[in-house]
Structure 1
Amino acid sequence: MPPPDAPPDAPPAPGALRAHLLAAVPAATASAARVLRVLLDDPGAAHLTVTDVAGRAGTSEASVVRTARSLGFAGYPQLRLALAAAGGADAAGAGEPVALLTGDLTEGGDLAAVVATLAALEREAVTATAAALDVQVLAAAAEAVAGARVVDCYGVGVSALAARHADLGAARLGLVSRLRTEPHAALVSSALLRPGDVALVVSHSGRTREVLAAARRAGERGAVVVAITGSAANPLARCADHVLVAAGRETAYRAGATAARASALLLVDCLHAAVAQRLGGEAVAALRETHRAVGGQERVR
């Protein structure tokens, strides 16, 4: 987060404030993250004074003010007004009070409530990701992928799921794609990339050592690095040419990567759609042929 004397960026519109808060959590300091969670989890946060927020977050009032400034506001009073405006927008457009759902589980709790909580958190993550997505960045990333000689897709652990989705989608569009979910395989593949190739790197933390090394090697080789990650300020984002941020609220029983899984898949789908737009008839023909191939196999019993 920027230092307290840094000039604030433009604050988000009321409808995008919740997405802005979610996107800020991964890169926030420990105290700022607690402040953000207080504001996210309390539907009446607009009524909280700076002292109230500081007390609930277990931090100082100065930390609350710094957090507000890091979000683009002149101070906490301005953030509080934005929370009030956002609350009105949420009430007009939301079907349920998602902010009431903290995602915590209790032993012997109602399973139906657990399902409802998970569904609400997934919707919240996807909605926040879409609201915060920079379409110009998406377009630039799609342009690079559409014109690449080869697209390498890197990801390990939970992030490998989105990397595999990216690889399959690229292949369906007729692109030459290579999935690398084993760390050493990613390092070897990145060492052979050329200028104009693309390394599509999925890592929620943006700090997985081997994946980060592969991304850096790809950049050194002249390849375009497209990152799908949980923060625009982590090490992977800093070495990428284009950064797509996947929002997701970590809870007591969901790690950050798991919480952002649906958001990462959404970003991959958005990227594929943008690539298909640029490829035009070529993509349509590839999709038709691959659909015919898969459909034909399904009918053989």
Structure 2
Amino acid sequence: MSSSVKKTFTGTPPAALAAKVRMLGPTMTRSMQRVAETVAGDPAGCAVLTVTGLAERTGTSEATVVRTARTLGYPGYRDLRLALAGLAAQQESGAAPAVTADIAVDDPLPEVIVKLAREEQQCLADTAAALDAAQLDAAVSALASARRVDVYGVGASNLVAQDLAQKLLRIGLSAHAHADPHLAMTGAVQLRAGDAAVAVTHSGRTLDVIEPLRTAFDRGATTVAITGRPDGEIAQYADHVLTTSPARESELRPAAMSSRTSQLLVVDCLFIGVAQRTYDTAAPALSASYEALAHRHTPRP
């Protein structure tokens, strides 16, 4: 396992607390989940509690409270209390967004529009708040200097993989997106040190994405995972893990658009970062691609 997988989140700002609870909650033990859900649900009330007081309120132990604080990205419980006070102040001022309610089968379409729009806003805000800038910076450096970049994704995630490969290709990088698992493996065995591979999988356990990334990892390429489950198997073979907001799927919304929206935000962050690092070559390449495609547009009357 790479050292980056063992890395814990640090320096989490107050605005990211609710996002962290939603994103990391499924990976916690039940007792830790109780602590996390309690502090996110009542930050003002929990901010005044000692570690013993919060343990008593949640029916857990002091050790569980401390472990939860560290899992959420705080060095200790004191730091978590400071974040809770900040979150409480945001909620009082109306700055903290509310979680969107699920869509019901009898919701009128105007209400569906509002709910979906709020859902997308929430997922983007959660992803931005929880995205590890140090991991992103390292991933950008790897892509910017790579001899070749392979991107893996299947199903809806392949649309995101294709988007990343296309963006990198237009600024002069050698980038390929593989949806077919056989082609992905064929490409992965050709990678070596100095190359990079990016896996896009919301669940973190899609075998057709895990296997080529593991092969790329074993071959010495720098590997990046864009996933909603940083505890998923994919993280074992990723030098850098970029976490997206978990999709709030329901009976009416399997493979919710929000998961792809979060992934596309990370893709855009990667692309902008790479374009900045390689601007001297990226700008002319982008200009050339625009010119090459200009004649393909329908002329205006």
State if a TM-score over 0.5 links the two structures: yes
1:259-283, Cα deviation, whole Å (9 max, x unpaired):
3211110111111111111111210
Instruction: Report the CA distance between 1:79 and its aligned residue.
Output: 5.3
Q: Which moved more, 1:30-39 or 1:121-130?
A: 30-39
Instruction: Report the CA distance between 1:117 and its aligned residue.
Output: 1.8
Instruction: Report the CA distance between 1:20 and its aligned residue.
Output: 2.2
| Counterpart amino acid of residue 28 in structure 2 | A
SS at match of 1:206: coil
Q: How does 1:121-132 map to 2 (within 5 A)?
A: 121-132=119-130
Q: Is the 8 A contact 1:247 1:263 kept in 2?
A: yes
Q: Which moved more, 1:15-24 or 1:142-151?
A: 15-24
Number of the residue aligned with 1:242: 240
Within 2, Cα distance between the matches of 1:210 and 1:282? 33
**Structure 2 residues not aligned, in runs of 5+:** 1-7, 47-52
Number of the residue aligned with 2:194: 196
Within 2, Cα distance between the matches of 1:141 and 1:46? 37
Q: How does 1:84-163 map to 2 (within 5 A)?
A: 84-92=85-93, 94=95, 98-101=97-100, 103-163=101-161
Q: Is the 8 A contact 1:159 1:203 kept in 2?
A: yes
SS at match of 1:227: strand
How many residues get paired? Answer: 283
Within 1, Cα distance between the matches of 2:79 and 2:193? 46
Distance change (3 Å), C-alpha of 1:216 and 1:255:
same
| Counterpart amino acid of residue 228 in structure 2 | G
Q: Does residue 1:284 correspond to 2:257, yes or no? A: no
Number of the residue aligned with 1:263: 262
Q: Which moved more, 1:29-38 or 1:287-296?
A: 29-38
Q: Which moved more, 1:237-246 or 1:15-24?
A: 15-24
Within 1, Cα distance between the matches of 2:143 and 2:99? 40
Within 2, Cα distance between the matches of 1:188 and 1:34? 45
SS at match of 1:287: helix
Q: Is the 8 A contact 1:204 1:256 kept in 2?
A: no
| Counterpart amino acid of residue 148 in structure 2 | V
SS at match of 2:127: helix
Percent identity reads 37
1:230 to 217, 228, 231: 228
SS at match of 1:237: helix
Within 2, Cα distance between the matches of 1:171 and 1:9? 32
Q: Is the 8 A contact 1:27 1:234 kept in 2?
A: no
**Structure 1 residues not aligned, in runs of 5+:** 1-7, 55-59
SS at match of 1:299: coil
Number of the residue aligned with 1:3: none
| Counterpart amino acid of residue 250 in structure 2 | A
Q: Does residue 1:21 correspond to 2:33, yes or no? A: no
Q: Which moved more, 1:203-212 or 1:66-75?
A: 66-75
| Counterpart amino acid of residue 111 in structure 1 | L
Instruction: Report the CA distance between 1:192 and its aligned residue.
Output: 1.5
Distance change (3 Å), C-alpha of 1:78 and 1:167:
closer
